[in-house]
Structure 1
Amino acid sequence: MTSQKTPQTMKPATAAKKLGVYLEATPAEFQEGVVSRDELNALQAEPPEWLRDLRRNGPHPRPVIAAKLGISISGLARGGITDALTTEQIEEIKTAAPDWLQRERETHAEVRKEEARVKAARSES
């Protein structure tokens, strides 16, 4: 007796997170269904036009915004950014280079430097 394997599925929110896109901007059929591991792999390997467009133009979820600005997600919140932004809006923030962005970039760089120092110290011991 061999049991038939059921495909591993995930909620649309989990799939959107793995794809790095803002769930509310995805097509309705993506938001309303479930996504199998095979479907996710297919979307990653050969993204459809809607996915390429979302990755290129947004709106982007907060982790992507933070990465594009070179700051942490907490830094986004401290800067007052709580909603999804388009690529154009992110570029406007970069161009304007507000004081909060400068501070958050410095803070983020210090944190990463400290994390690297701790990791190096652990590997030596």
Structure 2
Amino acid sequence: MSQEQNSQTMKPLTAASKLGIYLPATPEEFRNSTITRAQLEALRTDPPQWLTELRRTGPFPRDITARKLGVSNSGLQRAEVSDALTAVEIEALLADPPEWLVRERANLVAVREEAERVKTKDAERRAATNRPAKRRG
């Protein structure tokens, strides 16, 4: 067997996810083929024009859109943002943020602060249980 027949392949959705792009916006040939790991690596190291343009202007998948807006994926869901957004649409939202975006950004900050507080408290608790007991007397 040749190396080409033995190489692992992935579905276009998986490859798009690994590339951080929105699958429906890719060329038909990408959407309708399996991608090998070697092809994926080639796309990463020497991206074709369509990939460069897609990464620059979008539309972007939900996780990238959420990161660019500074909200969580759940925040986009709560705001009922179901379509992939382009760079222009994201810039417009950031320039004049609607109430939902302001609320979700504040919510994400609060969640991260709480997670940091819990992490610190747990670390302090672990440190306290590892200390030798004080002797009385």
Query: TM-score when scaled to structure 1?
Result: 0.90
What is residue 25 of structure 1 aligned with on the other side? 25
Superposition deviation, residue 116 in structure 1: 2.6
1:10-49 CA-to-partner distances (Å, cap 9, x unmatched) read 1000100111111001011100000111111111112111
Counterpart mapping for 1:23-102 below 5 A:
23-102=23-102
Map 1:103-122 onto structure 2 (within 5 A). 103-122=103-122
**CA 115–45 in structure 1, closer or farther in 2 if over 3 Å, else same:** farther
Q: Cα distance 1:121–1:34, how it changes in 2: closer, same or farther (>3 A)?
A: farther
Letter of the aligned partner of 1:111 in structure 2? V
- Matches of 2:67 and 2:17, distance apart in 1: 14
Q: Distance in 2 between matches of 1:11 and 1:119?
A: 37
- The alpha-carbon deviation at position 110 of structure 1 amounts to 1.3
TM-aligned CA distance change 1:10 to 1:122, over 3 Å: farther
TM-score by length of 2: 0.83
